Structure 1
């Protein structure tokens, strides 16, 4: 049994053609192809035969009669589907929390620590490490490797030999050394305590 292909082919006449003659003057062929009348009335059509619709389309220029500035403005309007838009940060370009209706409190629920979808909360650094971590520019928690990499970078940058014997750089390096020793000692003792728990 042969199946009949009912799919519309690209150059077949429009199935909604009105069943009249071509709109091109002097043509008696059946009109099966439509073409827009003008830029302003894209939903109103001429009906042509295939050779004349090809001829019409080859000559038709959507931007005919527009200046370069008008063409540019028209293209920019098309980017936003000819709807008004605002610069980022102006009223209407973004929503604030007050603009969003949330009767089930879904948004606030997501902000609660531990809620599903909420950003993970970082544990607080121990009180004794807050100042040393601030001095080193590090966040808690961290690994020994992260600490060593940061220390080497700071030591290289603030070493007096790299700064022409600058006394201020020397003092800064002393503070960095004290902070590094404090954090390293804490990490080493925490690691030792963890090892003892698992043993």
Structure 2
């Protein structure tokens, strides 16, 4: 049988009063008060602290400048990096490196074939009229009005019927180029 003197209850083990930390003297020279408040030693030592009394921590905080000694460009970089906790970022949807992710389901019995076909149809949507017009002008988006005008001038000169001795194929291409140009200019001016 166990003796009751060595047996401790759960309350005795877990409900101990908090042990008070050792009191430190204020780190300000010549101060005899207790240093209860911590303050970082510097921008590059944020995990090391001075311990000050209330009066001296207020004075330290009033005079401390995190960005002291940094140029405006360095300050701007630090602020931008701080918004993401100094982690690298990249635009949403871009592929990084050669990694490609396939979130498909392994379906050896073909249970989800209809779903896969619907997804494939959704991925292969028909091009918009603007996309077709860009392709007709041999451009890829996004483009500016100046780029559209420059491509139009080059293609009109190349496919104009007078420059091709009345060739029907060139004439048809000339008409398509003109229609594509008009469509893009109205779309961009709207």
- Same fold, TM exceeding 0.5? no
Q: Where on the TM-score scale, by shorter chain, does this alignment land: which range? A: 0.3 to 0.5
